[in-house]
Amino acid sequence: MGEVVEKNSALSDLIVLDLTDEKGAYCTKIIADMGADVIKIEKPGGDDTRDLPPFANDVEDREKSLSFWHYNTNKRGITLNLEVPKGQEIYKKLAEKADIIVESYPPGYLDKLGLGYQDLSPVNPGLIMTSITPFGQTGPYRDYKSSDMVGCAMGGFMTTHGYPDQPPVILYGDQGFHMASNNAAIATLIALYFRDMTGDGQFIDVSMQAAVAASVEVYNLVYIYQNDVMKRQGTRHATFGPGEMGNLIPCKDGFICTFGSPGPYDWMEADGVAGKLLEDPRWVDDIEFIREPENQAYLRERQIEFAKFHDKEEIFIGCQNMHVPWAKVNNFEDMFNDPQLRDRGFCVEVEHPELETSFIYPGAPYKHTETPWKITRRAPLIGEHNEEVYTKRLGFSKEELSQLAQKGVI
């Protein structure tokens, strides 16, 4: 497979070395999907993230991890042993020509190998190195081990989810890793802008714990300014009020999110379930009146009575047409068939030539008019681009590559 970058891609002039695991793979995916030439460096035999399930067609194969596929689109893949002198020598040659390095090794690991930012920046002053670790490069926890769940627990995210009388719960989807990666991508692009102005690179220290702690919105503010620890609210938004069901109410085929809006009173009246909701004008726009516990309980009762006669699509479309911001709670079948996402081209088809088929991937949450996001290549096979990178970039012969492979260097 040929070069991935195109001239109308936003980051097509950048060379990026990717030394990340789950903590940073989404960061380099963002950069790769916007056109940068991202070279994923794996240990000989392949990265451990290739062992993460689920696998395509439920066949356990290191080349068929769906997680690896998703997080490594548009990247080229090479193998290299950083713990042997020859591997370190080759890595330094690659780093001399790189614009960005993103890594997620434990603090100090690359420094011990002579491959840290202080070792590389003298020969490449414009180099930007972004390090993503559980707790950052400094502080009493810097050497502690972590996982996505640990990051969400230590960053305060976990304590915001669940019911007040039950233990905290964790949301699915590696939220801590994603928060760290998103912040790392933003910080890296800011550093790139600074380099464009000054010519200077820099080292970026990203803490997953700090990225999570910066993302818990109102919980932070209430504690900082009111010295109060907010209680978990179950399915209700933290700023609304009490109530067992909160902002979610059941309907015929699932759930509806009411987003704190009282509801489509006229429609409820037409269905004969509004009760006294239209008798007092304060039900319309007096928020304090509506939030009184006894009124909340009555309102929730009326909403549930109304919703049980309708399916979620009917309620969603009907309420939106009445300028009531209720929404359906999509399951994943709903989401990937959602007409809005389909209209925006969220689902993209990616070819896997070695399997003689293609697969549907989730796309990007943003659109650029001049430099569009796109997936032009599936994740690399193990060492797929060794010959391409090592011969074209560094001048190795095929015979030399064969010898390096026999010695366990690549």
Active-site residue numbers? 237
List phi, psi (to 5°) of 380: -75, 150
CA–CA dist 196, 383 (Å, integer): 33
> Within a 10 A sphere around the Cβ of 30, how many other Cβ atoms?
22
List phi, psi (to 5°) of 347: -85, 130
Alpha helices in 244-382 (DSSP H): 265-270, 282-285, 287-290, 293-307, 312-321, 332-336, 339-343
Q: Are 330 and 338 in contact (CB under 8 A)?
A: yes
Q: Are 377 and 1 in contact (CB under 8 A)?
A: yes
In the block, which residue shows the tokens 């990616």? 350
CA–CA dist 73, 373 (Å, integer): 12
Q: Are 62 and 380 in contact (CB under 8 A)?
A: no
Q: Are 129 and 204 in contact (CB under 8 A)?
A: yes
Extended strands (E) in 92-194:
100-103, 128-133
